[in-house]
Structure 1
Amino acid sequence: MTRRGVLAAAAATAAAPFTLGEPATAGARSFKLSVLGTSDTHGNVYNWDYYRDAEYDDSAHNDVGVAKLAALINQIRGERGTTSLVLDAGDTIQGTPLATYYAKQEPITETGEKHPMAKAMNVLHYDAVTLGNHEFNYGLPLLNLWIKQLGFPALAANAVNVATGRPAFRPYLIKKLIVGGSTLRVGILGLTNPGVAIWDRANIEGLLRFEDLVATAAKYVPIMRRNGADLVLISAHGGDSGTSSYGPELPNENPSALIAERVPGIDAILFGHAHADVPQRFVTNAETGDQVLLSEPSKWGQRLTRMDFTLTRERGRWAVTAKQATTLNTNTVAEDPAVLKAVRKQHAKTVAYVNQVVATSIVELSAAESRYRDTPILDYINRVQTDTVTAALAGTEYAGLPVLSIAAPFSRTAVFPRGEVKIKDVAGLYIYDNTLEAVVLTGAEVKAYLEYSAKYFVTSAPGAPVDPATISDPAVPDYNYDVISGLAYDIDISEPVGRRIVFRDPVDPAARFVVAVNNYRRSGGGNFPGIVKTQVYNAQQEIRQLLIDWAQRRGTIDPADFFEPNWRLVRAGEPVFPEA
């Protein structure tokens, strides 16, 4: 749906409010219930871009943050009454410098301070939150403390304690609402993403395992029905595409539509993880023929899902007679002042932190062309990673091996300005909380890795016009295109996928290299070949902080210290983009 369509749908829903507990027609036992859903807020409370030090804005003029969501939720609660439900489908405590600050600079596990996302969400009085995969980024102690700070349950039925075989977190709850003088029991099942086993292996290995979402739903939905649930909702941190970014060794990453199709007894699914705006989708259950309602509210607090149910009460039983959903745009409201007040001091401390100057750059360095051209700013990442791993392995059995480094163009907008470079500039270049690791690869494995990465580009015939905006495959995200420093190579995009990498100097397939890489990729994120190996270096050092520390030590950022152009796009040997 277009943005205009989303707004129109939101306006249509808002124009016909209904009040929980009032019969829809005189003499009928029919009632209305609204379920409001958020997901993938990723540490956004204020409508603020910490990397630009300005109010958030994008080309579609979206807004972000829990404070914006709160304003919409409070409006609807005013229509519906306090018994409407508010759920979140996960990925809450990671994603902004605000969230990072209270996990890394002043971790709540050391200070005892309440996490800003706990403060913000407690103002809203959520009914439940599902754990997303990013909830596990900072380890179980921080996650467990955050859960204790919440004034509502955190759910994850498919996260199992390895030692006991029992659920590691609360699987579900049954919420009792008084509707028209009768009790309506709403079952809410939380499902987290199995990819945690890859992406945060270091934090959970030997402690937790993550079971299939479809199988877990099939297990718990009948239990919830037997325990009296009149309405069953699932809050799932997994998209609806049915695909996975990793291999078949783990359960499906995005199975929400499959759950609806294969598990009977579900009325609706709020889902997240894919960051898509899905106002309303119906999936037919294969066993019952019932229509299961699904909705996903985009990302970062840009949208709020609103599900509306029409219920009838006959002979002591509840039945759903109609249901619909839409997503509401948070750019239509002002931020809720109570949420802003709850987090104001923490927000101000984070703003002050990211505006600290760490170095001076002699020229402006931009990431804008890093997807298709070797740029100094991406080589800055590779130089820091190479230096760190080389120093750590000095005197070990790996000291004599060449050190390569892998980086990805995470950001198209990151810039080190000429002059003062601040923490926010470095954080904007490396937006993920990845740590640095290293493994040993052979020359053959390095080539296979690069061939896999090169599928990012569409095939282009020699001499054909080239537009940088369309040179990449839109199905492959920027963070799944990697470049490697330490070897000179061409990527020939006139060749088919799998036959694109040409080393400028021969590389022995049996040669051994130490390869510096982030923990997400080394653990299997992106399903790159050959990289999931035992680490020869893993000091649990965050790459973003290493970039900051390197700049602070030197005081000056000069491309002459780290820029070594070593790769280029070609077609039949001719550069696609001449040297700048």
Structure 2
Amino acid sequence: MGINVLQRTSVRAGAVATAAVLVVGLASPASAGNGGGHNGPREYQLTVMGTTDLHGNALNWDYFKNAEYDDSAHNDVGLAKVSTLVNQVRADRGDRNTLLIDAGDTIQGTSLAYYYAKIQPISKTVEHPMAAAMNAIGYDAAALGNHEFNYGIPYLRTFEKQLDFPLLAANATFDKNGRAAFTPYVIKTVRPAHGKAIKVGILGLTNPGIAIWDKANVEGQMSFGGLVEQAAKYVPEMKRRGADVVVVAAHSGADTSSSYGDTLPFPENAATLVAQQVPGIDAILVGHAHQEIAERVVTNTTTGKPVVLSEPLRWGERLSVFDIDLSFSRGRWSVQSVDASVLNSNAVPEDPAIVSLLQADHQKVVDYVNGVVGTSTEAMSAATARYEDTAVLDFINYVQAGAVKAELTGADADLPVLSIAAPFNKDAAIPQGDVSVRDIAGLYIYDNTLLGIKLTGAQVKAYLEKSAEYFKAAPAPGTYPAASLTNAVTPTAPNGTPDYNYDVMGGLDQPLTYDIDLAQPVGSRITGLAYGGVPVSDTQEFVVAINNYRQSGGGNFPGVTTAPVVYNRQVEIRQLLIDWVSANEVVDPSLFSATNPDWQLTSGGTPLTVTP
């Protein structure tokens, strides 16, 4: 159905550092069916399709499970699925009447993305699979996401040169001269079957948080201004250059907020603010927040006109479709209405042309993920991690805390570093001997990123008390089966507290030790809390390595959402673990796991015996 995507051609825009006008006629003989102009019909529908947060998902494959991707909602992922949806929309609407854009975060997030960044880096002779697929599908433009900078600016420039369409970022500027570091916008010319051509302006906005999250890669080279401020600069310019329609691809969430608080003067999630405060925008493709927003209508406070927002979840799970109705009057086109919806990629098969195009790249990554990257001196299992101190969680905490400590500066560098980890997967295990990427990834089954926050001793204790709500009461010493102690029912967990809402906390340079006394009431269970053998005082300060889910309020742990953030590179914890094993080659639990347990379950001060 639709065109052969491998035969579709597009125009190479190249990488320019100033505002550019790109006039492209969509090469298709298909009739629009309702063109416009002096002698033709005066109404026309333009369709703009959008993806976002693809994060290296090219095919519908889970590299860590070594199987087709699936989740509890039975979502599918990848550009091969997107391609089928795009082909269907083009066939339905008429190819010449459609555009396809993306809102960023393309080249980081899967083993495929990692492989072509670190194992076989892209170059003049090695094409990024995401570039190959997006070129074949026929994208018209893409905004930059913050994760585009994870592998450094030179790597990003190499990727940019491989694309047949421009990467847009109106609010990215060179520090040396203040000029645009990437193309701010393009104006595409859509030619109906009859009547006057329509000029569609596409503005790209990236996330100001790049200055924090990828400080090591961008400091002194690029700065990232506010989305509202730069949109206010460029939208009028696009209008002066004849844009009849203005669409924004914004790598910024719809709901105004900032994970970095007031560290930067510009909010992280600002798409709604752009719609409200900048006149002249018709639609915004939203990214960054990994949410599904089929359609949200925001009123511009200056003009009173509606601006339509849509966000297609993530990873190619959805495709946003904006249907923009225009009318022709007094020699020009004007937008009359915009409707948005999302299409689900699990409703269609993968495009065999994209699968074929990427098969060799995909197989290289499958072989890598199943290959050996290190060895372990002994086996480690997560089977008992819910109720006893285990080397598996100690390993995660060790790597997390070490990554945070390495980035601390100033007075923060002198603070003791702690880390939290949860028993996500009780089936996870590291074998003695050879260890594969898949083995390591099994320890951390979520896509969380790492942050570092500051907590006081009193806050650390409060956090651990919240975590201890996971356990049921044990009124007397003795032997208990695990099921009789874990997954306690609480007002917020009527079906039992899930394993992922129980956190173990550990120290990096010195052990953090404590008992969880299940004879005590909830809120008073943590006893003997000490760091390096010294009781923790209420005012003592710590840096705590924590995942983004917890830091943003997941699990409702106290103190974390308002705690000062001292580290946030937006690096995936799973990848940190893989990188650590690859770099160190040997996993030796004696390095990070003490002979004596750092924490234990007790009743009235007497250690409990827990059976599986």
1:228 matched residue in structure 2 = 242
State how far apart, in whole Å, the 1-side matches of 2:62 and 2:491 are. 24
1:260 matched residue in structure 2 = 275
Cα 1:310–1:388 change in 2 (3 A) is: closer
Deviation at 1:67, TM superposition (A): 0.6
1:503 matched residue in structure 2 = 529
- Is contact 2:455-2:544 (8 Å) kept? no
- Is contact 2:171-2:184 (8 Å) kept? yes
Cα 1:367–1:174 change in 2 (3 A) is: farther
1:12 matched residue in structure 2 = none
> Which amino acid in structure 2 is aligned with residue 39 of structure 1?
T
One of 583, 586, 589 as aligned partner of 1:553: 586
Given the alignment of the two structures, is residue 532 of structure 1 paired with residue 546 of structure 2, yes or no? Answer: no
One of 91, 95, 101 as aligned partner of 2:105: 91
Moved more, 360-369 or 32-41: 360-369
The 5 A counterparts of 1:461-540 are: 466-467=488-489, 483-485=505-507, 486-489=511-514, 494-495=522-523, 503-504=529-530, 505-507=534-536, 529=563, 532=566
Spell out, residue by residue over 1:478-498, the C-alpha distance to the aligned partner (whole angstroms, 9 max, x if none). 7997833321146899559xx
State how far apart, in whole Å, the 2-side matches of 1:176 and 1:99 are. 33
SS of residue matched to 2:308: strand
Cα 1:264–1:510 change in 2 (3 A) is: closer
Gaps of at least 5 residues in structure 2 are: 1-29, 474-484, 495-499, 554-559, 570-574
- Is contact 1:447-1:501 (8 Å) kept? no
State how far apart, in whole Å, the 2-side matches of 1:104 and 1:90 are. 20
One of 147, 160, 169 as aligned partner of 2:182: 169
Cα 1:455–1:95 change in 2 (3 A) is: farther
Given the alignment of the two structures, is residue 566 of structure 1 paired with residue 582 of structure 2, yes or no? Answer: no
Deviation at 1:359, TM superposition (A): 3.6
- Is contact 1:436-1:516 (8 Å) kept? no
1:269 matched residue in structure 2 = 284
State how far apart, in whole Å, the 1-side matches of 2:375 and 2:317 are. 34
Cα 1:435–1:266 change in 2 (3 A) is: closer
State how far apart, in whole Å, the 2-side matches of 1:501 and 1:176 are. 69
State how far apart, in whole Å, the 1-side matches of 2:383 and 2:52 are. 29
Cα RMSD (Å) = 4.7
> Which amino acid in structure 1 is aligned with residue 240 of structure 2?
R
- Is contact 2:57-2:315 (8 Å) kept? yes
Identity of aligned residues (%): 44
One of 343, 363, 375 as aligned partner of 1:328: 343
SS of residue matched to 1:311: strand
Spell out, residue by residue over 1:372-418, the C-alpha distance to the aligned partner (whole angstroms, 9 max, x if none). 9755322122345779999x9xxxxx9xx997553544955882265
1:4 matched residue in structure 2 = none
Q: How many residues align?
A: 535
One of 184, 199, 206 as aligned partner of 2:198: 184
Deviation at 1:431, TM superposition (A): 7.5
Deviation at 1:259, TM superposition (A): 1.2
2:437 matched residue in structure 1 = 423
> Which amino acid in structure 1 is aligned with residue 598 of structure 2?
N
1:80 matched residue in structure 2 = 93
Cα 1:561–1:125 change in 2 (3 A) is: same
State how far apart, in whole Å, the 2-side matches of 1:50 and 1:161 are. 37
Given the alignment of the two structures, is residue 318 of structure 1 paired with residue 333 of structure 2, yes or no? Answer: yes
One of 115, 118, 142 as aligned partner of 2:155: 142
Deviation at 1:332, TM superposition (A): 1.2
One of 210, 216, 220 as aligned partner of 1:206: 220
Spell out, residue by residue over 1:156-199, the C-alpha distance to the aligned partner (whole angstroms, 9 max, x if none). 11111111111111111111111233110011111111111111
Given the alignment of the two structures, is residue 121 of structure 1 paired with residue 153 of structure 2, yes or no? Answer: no
> Which amino acid in structure 1 is aligned with residue 362 of structure 2?
H
State how far apart, in whole Å, the 2-side matches of 1:135 and 1:480 are. 33
Deviation at 1:143, TM superposition (A): 0.6
Cα 1:534–1:103 change in 2 (3 A) is: closer
SS of residue matched to 2:288: coil
SS of residue matched to 1:182: coil
> Which amino acid in structure 1 is aligned with residue 488 of structure 2?
V
State how far apart, in whole Å, the 1-side matches of 2:609 and 2:259 are. 30
The 5 A counterparts of 1:307-456 are: 307-357=322-372, 358-359=374-375, 365-366=381-382, 375-383=390-398, 404-409=417-422, 412=425, 415-416=428-429, 421-429=435-443, 447=457, 450=460
The 5 A counterparts of 1:16-27 are: 21-23=32-34
> Which amino acid in structure 1 is aligned with residue 529 of structure 2?
F
Spell out, residue by residue over 1:126-177, the C-alpha distance to the aligned partner (whole angstroms, 9 max, x if none). 0001110110101101011101111100001111111111111111111111
Moved more, 330-339 or 150-159: 330-339
Deviation at 1:224, TM superposition (A): 0.9
One of 221, 232, 236 as aligned partner of 1:218: 232
Cα 1:281–1:361 change in 2 (3 A) is: farther
Given the alignment of the two structures, is residue 193 of structure 1 paired with residue 207 of structure 2, yes or no? Answer: yes
SS of residue matched to 1:296: strand
State how far apart, in whole Å, the 2-side matches of 1:573 and 1:263 are. 63
Deviation at 1:507, TM superposition (A): 3.2
Deviation at 1:242, TM superposition (A): 0.6
Moved more, 32-41 or 458-467: 458-467
Gaps of at least 5 residues in structure 1 are: 1-18, 393-397, 473-477, 536-540
SS of residue matched to 1:488: strand
Cα 1:141–1:81 change in 2 (3 A) is: same
- Is contact 1:20-1:31 (8 Å) kept? no
Moved more, 317-326 or 84-93: 317-326
Cα 1:187–1:506 change in 2 (3 A) is: same
Cα 1:47–1:253 change in 2 (3 A) is: same
Moved more, 401-410 or 229-238: 401-410
